[in-house]
Amino acid sequence: MLEIDNLSHVYGGGTPNEHHAIDGLNLSVAEGELLCIVGPSGCGKSTLLRSIAGLIQPTGGQVKVEGEVVRQTPDNLAVVFQDYSRSLFPWMSVADNVALPLRRKNMDKKQRREAAAEALESVGLENAGRKYPFQLSGGMQQRVAIARALAYRPTLMLMDEPFGSVDAQTREDLEDLVLQVRGHHQMTIVLITHDIDESVYVGDRVVVLSKAPANVVGDLKVDLPAPRDQITTREHSDFVHLRAEVGRLVRGHATV
Amino acid sequence: MSSQTLPRVRPASSATRWYRRAAGALAFAALIELLSRTGLADPEFLPPASEIVGRAVLLLLDPAFRGHALTSLLAWAIGLSIAALLAVPLGLLLGSVPVVDAAMRSVVEFLRPIPSVALIPLVALVIGTGLQHRVALVVYASLWPLLYNTMYGLRGVDPLAKESLRAYGFGPLAVLLRVSLPASAPFIATGLRLAAGVALILTVSTEIVAGRGEGIGVFVFFAGIAVPARMTDILAGVFWVGLFGVAVNALLVAAERRAFRWHHAQWGERP
């Protein structure tokens, strides 16, 4: 599904401010997998995500999505950013926000509106379509951003610290929302986070990145029983063991 | 000290604000009335406010004056519309293509400081003193606030908003029209409001300098060269120009409030 081959990215190459964000990173993600990428702040996670999405051209190596080298944004890819208040368009109603990307698909106005309504329903916002983003709480706005991604029916959904700007309760709700919607849609999800517990709770697999320049320092399979539950999963002995393992890797005390 | 302990000044309600404005205008009129009636100011040069307003109302019944007013209104509206149709696309181009911006910058910086009023005689020589004269000068003068506000608005567009659309595979033109343009719309609207005022100034000054044909400025010009000068007519004409300016401004402010509720909400202002 997703193949990252010897990926490197240097900002300001040749200048005194040269910054190596990623250095020779290899990673492959299978179809239908929910991969969490976790790493210390400023380790190049967002650069990695932008390279996958074709928003920046990496200075070295390549990214392949569904077998094709990414040169511009691949079709059937959706991104959910951390900052929902900046990523939603404040001048449009919620329904229009969700329907806008569908202009890229061969859909008429009616189909777009129906798809948007359906996506809003799947995130529990069936009555918010006519509202404007600023009339919604932060958690609801992020649900809108997720609905916008779902309506697009991506085969690959990238999420860049999607729950970093909401309170703890909302965060747990949104984590469960992601687990729930992935059951209904056939898609591969790459979720970037700096929250160790979250990566283990949500992911099928957790990849730990080093400090910049980013490289893979750990790759763990998460074999927790489904469906996951905020209380019982988090007290499961495998969960406790895994989060400790990931924690050590993130802090650089690798034992694997 | 937290902001909660600070006394919060409650914004006045809309009705209260209108009362205050009306009171200010009435006080100003009363001052003119007083200066004129007591002889502190020569009534030849400053007729009482009641006479100015009375004459202004009577002028409305005069078909000749209505013709002057309509001619000015037409020049103002055509000039402002052309300026908007030129400046907004040009601003979008300059604001989004750095190469064009760099190439045009010196020309723009050269033209901008030239006072448009100084061009009135020059343009008259080239294209004559009809409607085209007024329209040309109105376009030139009201271009700048529109152009600069469009460019300024574009510069402030959140890169993440653009990236959000780009991530769904939209190209640069779609991002410009679907994200950058609506995001800068509040700034462009402010530019339009500034331009509307500038256009009014240019319409009337061009008419006064040209001194022929029709237009409120022409009416004022002839009232001024009459012997003795018809001061009440001059001020009555000015009264209508001023009132029109205030009305247009109020209309545009109200339209902005309605259309850009999202903008005010985002910046924590009262909608």
At A29 the pLDDT is 92
Q: Return d(Cα A49, Cα A66) in angstroms, integer.
A: 16
At B35 the pLDDT is 92
The predicted model gives B2-17 an average pLDDT of 65
Which of B157, B160, B163, B164 has the most A C-beta neighbours within 10 Å, making it the best mutation to test the interface with A?
A: B164
Inter-chain contacts counted by CB atoms under 8 A, chains A and B: 64
In the stretch 241-270 of chain B, residues with CB closer than 8 A to chain A read 260-263, 265-266
CA distance B215 to chain A (A): 41
Inter-chain touch A89–B263, beta carbons under 8 Å = no
Spans of all domains in chain B: 69-264
In the stretch 154-173 of chain B, residues with CB closer than 8 A to chain A read 158, 160-161, 163-170
Residues of A in contact with B184 (CB under 8 A): none
pLDDT in tens, A32-84: 899 999 988 777 888 899 999 999 888 988 898 888 888 888 888 999 998 88
Inter-chain touch B266–A79, beta carbons under 8 Å = no
Minimum-distance CB partner of A86 among B161, B166, B263? B161
Residue B6 has pLDDT above 80, yes or no: no
pLDDT in tens, B149-206: 999 999 889 999 999 999 998 999 999 999 999 999 999 999 999 999 999 999 999 9
At B18 the pLDDT is 85
What is this structure's pTM? 0.84
**By CA distance, what is A72's nearest residue in B?**
B169
At B177 the pLDDT is 93
At B9 the pLDDT is 63
What is the residue-averaged pLDDT of chain B? 89
The predicted model gives B234-260 an average pLDDT of 94
Measure the CA angle with vertex A46, ends A44 and A51; round to 5°.
95
- What single letter denotes the amino acid at residue B50? S
What is the pLDDT confidence band of residue B4, given thresholds at 50, 70 and 90?
very low
For residue A19, the cross-strand partners are A11
What is the pLDDT confidence band of residue B268, given thresholds at 50, 70 and 90?
low
Residues of A in contact with B179 (CB under 8 A): 89
Residue A21 has pLDDT above 60, yes or no: yes
Contact status, residue A250 vs residue A196, Cβ threshold 8 Å: yes
Tokens found for residue A172 = 């747990």
Residue A128 has pLDDT above 50, yes or no: yes
Contact status, residue A132 vs residue A94, Cβ threshold 8 Å: yes
Tokens found for residue A118 = 């359906």
Residue A175 has pLDDT above 70, yes or no: yes
Cα distance from N-terminal residue to C-terminal residue, chain B: 27
User: Residue A85: which of A129, A126, A145 has the closest Cα?
Assistant: A145
Which one is predicted more confidently, B193 or A139?
B193
Contact status, residue A138 vs residue A84, Cβ threshold 8 Å: yes
Minimum-distance CB partner of B160 among A74, A86, A104? A86
CA distance B190 to chain A (A): 17
Report the percent of chain A where pLDDT is more than 70: 98
Q: Return d(Cα A169, Cα A15) in angstroms, integer.
A: 45
At B270 the pLDDT is 47
Q: Give B31's contacts (C-beta < 8 A, 6+ positions apart).
A: none
What is the pLDDT confidence band of residue B11, given thresholds at 50, 70 and 90?
low
User: What DSSP character marks residue A100?
Assistant: G
What is the pLDDT confidence band of residue B70, given thresholds at 50, 70 and 90?
very high
What is the residue-averaged pLDDT of chain A? 87
At A234 the pLDDT is 84
Contact status, residue A72 vs residue A55, Cβ threshold 8 Å: no
Q: Return d(Cα B200, Cα B242) in angstroms, integer.
A: 9
User: Residue B269: which of B253, B251, B246 has the closest Cα?
Assistant: B253
In the stretch 136-155 of chain B, residues with CB closer than 8 A to chain A read none
Measure the CA angle with vertex A110, ends A104 and A112; round to 5°.
35
Residues of B in contact with A87 (CB under 8 A): 160-161, 163-164
Residue B2 has pLDDT above 50, yes or no: no
Domains of chain A with bracketed CATH: 2-76+155-251 (3.40.50.300), 88-153 (no CATH)
At B5 the pLDDT is 52
Which one is predicted more confidently, A211 or B1?
A211
At B108 the pLDDT is 86
Is B38 strand, coil or helix? coil
Residue A186 has pLDDT above 90, yes or no: no
The predicted model gives B141-148 an average pLDDT of 94
**By CA distance, what is B266's nearest residue in A?**
A134
At B151 the pLDDT is 92
Residue A13 has pLDDT above 90, yes or no: no
At A39 the pLDDT is 84
Q: What is the 3-state secondary structure (H, E, C) of A43-98?
A: CCHHHHHHHHCCCCCCCEEEEEECCEECCCCCCCEEEECCCHHHHCCCCCCHHHHH
The predicted model gives A182-201 an average pLDDT of 87
Cα torsion angle, B42, B43, B44, B45, sign? positive
Inter-chain touch A86–B168, beta carbons under 8 Å = no
Q: Judging by DSSP bridges, how do beta strands A60-65 and A68-69 pair with one another?
A: antiparallel
At A132 the pLDDT is 92
The predicted model gives B102-128 an average pLDDT of 88
Inter-chain touch A104–B168, beta carbons under 8 Å = yes
In the block, tokens 């990252």 appear at A4
In the block, tokens 């990145």 appear at A209
Inter-chain touch A55–B165, beta carbons under 8 Å = no
pLDDT in tens, B218-238: 999 999 998 888 999 999 999
Q: At what angle do helices B131-155 and B120-127 cross, to 10 degrees?
A: 120
Report the percent of chain A where pLDDT is more than 90: 27
The superfamily CATH assigns to domain B69-264 is MetI-like (1.10.3720.10)
Contact status, residue B175 vs residue B239, Cβ threshold 8 Å: no
